[in-house]
Amino acid sequence: MPDAKRPFVERTVKVDGQDVSCRFFPPEPDGVSFHCRFEIGWTEGPRCKSAGGVDEVQALLLAMQLAYTDLLSGRENHGREVLWLDSRSLGLPIAKAIRDWDPENGF
């Protein structure tokens, strides 16, 4: 079983030309459900959040959606340039409610 204190997957994006890591930690049991913690290493300091799901897969997917929402919010609400592989689409699962923030996302 992966160590819940260490990230097990990571995506690096460019925010205003600087590398910013988005790290996901292994989902952990939380009563009858699971939660998945993630950290975005914003240039002004890292921020951690978590998402819950009925199983480990749902918790991870929802954490990825929430991280994507935070990254896109930086672009849409704060005027930041957020890119992955020189593309505006960051290649993560996106919530339907904000799909218009990244219409090119094929995920």
Q: Rounded to two decimals, what is the model's pTM? A: 0.86
The 10s digit of each residue's pLDDT in 43-71 is 999 999 999 999 999 999 999 999 999 99
| Helix/strand/coil (H/E/C) assignment for every residue in the chain | CCCCCCCCEEEEEEECCEEEEEEECCCEEECCEEEEEEEECCCCCCEEEEEEECCHHHHHHHHHHHHHHHHHHHHHHHCCCEEECCECCCCCCCCHHHHHHCCCCCC
Collect the ranges in the chain with pLDDT lower than 50: none
